[in-house]
Structure 1
């Protein structure tokens, strides 16, 4: 059973994308927290947000040749949906791993 503090810190790291600090908030939580679960969730969120930033940058560049427009829309939808799912799972006491970056991040921990 997760404590309220664990749930809030983990959800904050996942939902940081909605307050325009998608890399800073998970990084601060990762560095400050002493709890293993919170650190894992912050690392997952940090990795996911970095991948989103890279994908959005590449899509933004590809807008020049028009293929970037649907890619940018897809990245936006992924950035909207997956953090909400992660926060809901965390509040339901489930360990969440992003389908895009989760396996890579978990192996590096």
Structure 2
């Protein structure tokens, strides 16, 4: 895969979940990095690393959203949900920018489920 194409797919693995978060309240955000990773992981190390990292972050966010939703009963959950949403956008934008420069990005807050 040419370098410019790899950078595009790697960047898309970070940008697409942001768009899907807006469109689906975060429910479908996990799909974009999963599909990109499955389709292109063997064609480019850059796409493999970035899409896998974005996928792990989206899985971590799903867990945070579930915990936040449960904790809304005691009102603390709204803070958890807000923090997860802010982290989603800030770290997602940082990841997309790093990937577009050809760098592997590591999310500061992420459980690495997929190795």
Report TM bin, short chain. Answer: 0.7 to 0.9
What is the distance in 1 between the residues matched to 2:17 and 2:60? 12
Q: 3-state SS of the aligned residue for 1:90? A: helix
Kindly state the Cα deviation for residue 41 of structure 1 after the two structures are TM-superposed.
0.9
Kindly state the Cα deviation for residue 19 of structure 1 after the two structures are TM-superposed.
2.4
Residue of structure 1 equivalent to 2:47? 38
Structure 1: which 4+ aligned runs deviate by more than 4 Å?
A: none
What do you get for the CA RMSD once the two structures are aligned?
A: 1.7
More helix by share: 1
Residue of structure 2 equivalent to 1:93? 102
TM-score norm. by structure 2 comes to 0.82
Residue of structure 2 equivalent to 1:75? 84
Listed as ranges, the gaps of 5+ residues in structure 1 are: none
Residue of structure 1 equivalent to 2:33? 26
TM-score norm. by structure 1 comes to 0.86
Kindly state the Cα deviation for residue 95 of structure 1 after the two structures are TM-superposed.
1.8
What is the distance in 2 between the residues matched to 1:63 and 1:29? 33
